[in-house]
Structure 1
Amino acid sequence: MYSIQEITPQVFWVGGNDRRLERFENMFPLPNGVSYNSYLITDEKTALIDTVDTSIGALYLENVTHVLNGRKLDYLVINHMEPDHCANIEEIVRRYPNVQLVGNKKTFQFLEQYYSLNMSSNYLEIQEGQELGLGKHTLRFYFAPMVHWPEVMFTYEISQGILFSADAFGSFGALSGNVFADEIDFENVFADESRRYYANIVGRYGMQVQAALKKFTDVNIRMICSVHGPIWRKNLAYILEKYDKWSRYLPEKKGVVLFYASMYGNTENVMNALANKLAKRGIQDIRLYDVSKTHPSYIISDVWKYSHMVIGSPTYNMHLYFVMDALLRELSALGLKNRKISLIGNHTWSSGAIKGMHEIIDTMKNIEIVGAPLDVRSTLKPEREPELDALADAIYASLTEA
């Protein structure tokens, strides 16, 4: 049974949802599934914007067939060649052999890497700023390389101000009938998942996101249609401001994310004691995570949200505990900067955790170390509690400064 929605006159959402998928890209947990969005314009000429993942291919093709209602498909615009969006290109060409595939030079390079069917006669290679008329609707193409693949482009429909934005402005989470952000309790259902999606998927490419945003400074965008998550048609400033802040690596608000590794509970006890001391000092928005238990994508999302981090880890084989090492290296690879960080290490016979943390943190830009790093010897004895109090005071002072 087809499942489509007309989002503006002659523009249809023809995507679908996958609630069975456990992990996005086989890495990121999907407790609420994920949507795969595609859009079909039915003007004098018809244009399909992106395809979807193989998991919902049968529904997708039924949706497209229903909306076309016997008409031919003139264009398939390929904004992004990642497999969760390009998986149905070959099937579309088989069904509509005269369809023109709209993309850039890099698009077609990737297409030939993924597919063995020769579709070169269908190629319509476009340039930055080029326009394609469909009748009442006109498409203009903007290249957005490395947001987050090199071939990515955005398609802007001029008459209605619709930005088809590829993966940008996307989110984890399946849609439940309502396809518009203003029809959903966005703050409670999608806000965290949008940040988790951005930080982990696009976070490394903040400079490129900023370059893409600048292209639309004087463009009248009235709707944003991503390939994942809800469609934005109201209060676009909300998501645009989030993307501007996230891509400049600026925290959304003041708060503390404490995350730790602990083999036997001793480092955990210190982190719990510190969190308790911060709470007693009136600090709100405290998050506390065990890196061995919590998937790193959730920790990374909160690190993107908040201004301060406290990292606690034991030494393991004279080096940094490897799960913590992996998380910090991922934060460095994602380009995290502009944060205030406090450090707690633990060792019994050879101290290495704080040194290992510094080695990775020192690769990040504009990082301020708050308070003296605390290196615990197995357990925190009462006589060293003043050091923990001093660290709590330093974090409090940093959080409450103007």
Structure 2
Amino acid sequence: MNCRLSIKDKIHWIGVNDRETTLFENYWPLEKGVAYNSYLINDEKVAIIDTVKFNKTTEYLEKIKEIIGDKPVDYLVVNHMEPDHSGSMLALLGTYPDMKIVGNKKTFPFIEGFYGITRNYMEVVEGDIIDLGFHKLTFYMTPMVHWPETMMTYETTSKVLFSMDAFGGFGALDGGIFDDEINYEFYEDETRRYYSNIVAKYSAMVQRSLKKLAGLDIQIVAPTHGPIWRSNPGEIIGLYDKWSRYEAEKGVVIVYGSMYGNTAKMADFLARIIAENGIKDVKVFDASKTHPSYILSEIWKYKAAVIGSCAYNTKVFSSVETVLAKLSNSSLKDRYVSVFGNKSWSGGGVSGINAFVDEIGWERIGESIEATYSPKDAEFKALTELGEAIAAKLHETYPEEN
């Protein structure tokens, strides 16, 4: 069976799909599941690149046995120690007790801390080579993409980059495991959601790693989540380069929190004004109904964000406050932002968002707009002017798309 999952030259995909787990890291929704990708090189020496989450260990070991039979596993390369990729390490070591565990000096404290394993360590540093026979593995340290111990492994014969979490995304692999076997629109959205919520805070380190890898002839990108890029690896590398440089597309994300519909009314009115002024990509989210991971992904995609909140016990509405906290932690730069909201007997919603804007340092478009009790003619006039200003700014920023 696994001959159908050969990547190239005795390199096999031995990953698994997880459609049972509902929340990745017990927080991020997995509406379409997730894949844990692991790889096996069946050469004179056998090497496995990363493992899979503990809930799929039995299936995983069966795949290995099917390919190598009674041969031993000589090396387990640990590019990343998060338990969704190292969770089967104990079982693998129990099955292959002489297997060397390959990592860098930052890897081994994680292994001991998570699993109590203290033997069979093989430390590698930048540029070290492990000769498997026909295949040769070279190691590149990529710290904080997105944990301290992360590294990538490059197979020099087949020119495959095993990139751990980098270049990966959410979504189970439904039959197609390669980029040329899938409709990538869904996976691009889920890869951006993965990047913006999990990796994005370390965008500077992503840029540093991309520069380090720039001289390699990468013909296949094999991440630990999502599809394997064999036809157009430059596509996913280019997307990571774009996202880590905070580049954005022409569009607006409006996110709001509303208790009784008044702030929602302002959001819908503003969206219509922006659309009337020629902006086709306008996304409106009720923060109480949409998980912040999807909102953050869209804000990472588009250039302008408009954030609205009712006052809630003198503060920003709780669901909007969560979005602001995630945005602040993501360290996203180079966005336009506008603020609106509603109050009745006290304020706090708009002023709280303004404090966030001051902190994050995005370029503000227009003055804050805050209605009292409900929006009236004065607020709708101000929202009209704001919508026109947002559209004009985007047309100015993206003149080639006008």
Q: TM-score, normalised by structure 2?
A: 0.96
CA contact (8 A) 2:80 2:149 kept: yes
What aligned pairs does 1:90-239 form with structure 2 within 5 A after superposition? 90-116=90-116, 118-120=117-119, 122-187=120-185, 189-239=186-236
CA contact (8 A) 1:339 1:368 kept: yes
**In structure 2, how many angstroms separate the alpha carbons of the residues matched to 1:308 and 1:347?**
24
How far off is 1:74 after superposition?
A: 0.5
**In structure 2, how many angstroms separate the alpha carbons of the residues matched to 1:374 and 1:215?**
46
Q: Spell out, residue by residue over 1:341-390, the C-alpha distance to the aligned partner (whole angstroms, 9 max, x if none).
A: 1110211122222221121222224x111112111112111243221111
Cross-structure match for 1:43: 43
**In structure 2, how many angstroms separate the alpha carbons of the residues matched to 1:320 and 1:311?**
11
**In structure 2, how many angstroms separate the alpha carbons of the residues matched to 1:287 and 1:203?**
21
Give yes or no for the alignment of 1:60 onto 2:74: no
Cross-structure match for 2:358: 362
Paired residue type of 1:306: Y
Cross-structure match for 2:26: 26
Unmatched 5+ stretches in structure 2: none
CA contact (8 A) 1:328 1:361 kept: no
How far off is 1:46 after superposition?
A: 0.7
Give yes or no for the alignment of 1:388 onto 2:383: yes
Cross-structure match for 1:255: 251
CA contact (8 A) 1:4 1:63 kept: no
Structure 1 stretches of 4+ moved >3 Å: 1-4
CA contact (8 A) 1:162 1:222 kept: yes
How far off is 1:324 after superposition?
A: 1.1
**In structure 2, how many angstroms separate the alpha carbons of the residues matched to 1:3 and 1:90?**
26
CA contact (8 A) 1:47 1:77 kept: yes
Give yes or no for the alignment of 1:282 onto 2:266: no
Paired residue type of 2:169: S
CA contact (8 A) 1:277 1:392 kept: yes
How far off is 1:4 after superposition?
A: 6.3
How far off is 1:20 after superposition?
A: 1.1
Secondary structure in structure 2 of the residue aligned to 1:349 = coil
CA contact (8 A) 1:2 1:59 kept: no
2:339 corresponds to which of 343, 346, 364: 343
Cross-structure match for 1:15: 15
**In structure 2, how many angstroms separate the alpha carbons of the residues matched to 1:316 and 1:218?**
53
Q: TM-score, normalised by structure 1?
A: 0.96
Cross-structure match for 1:302: 298
How far off is 1:396 after superposition?
A: 1.2
Across the aligned residues of Structure 1 and Structure 2, the Cα RMSD in angstroms comes to 1.3
**How many residues are paired up?**
397
CA contact (8 A) 1:332 1:361 kept: no
Unmatched 5+ stretches in structure 1: none
CA contact (8 A) 2:2 2:12 kept: no
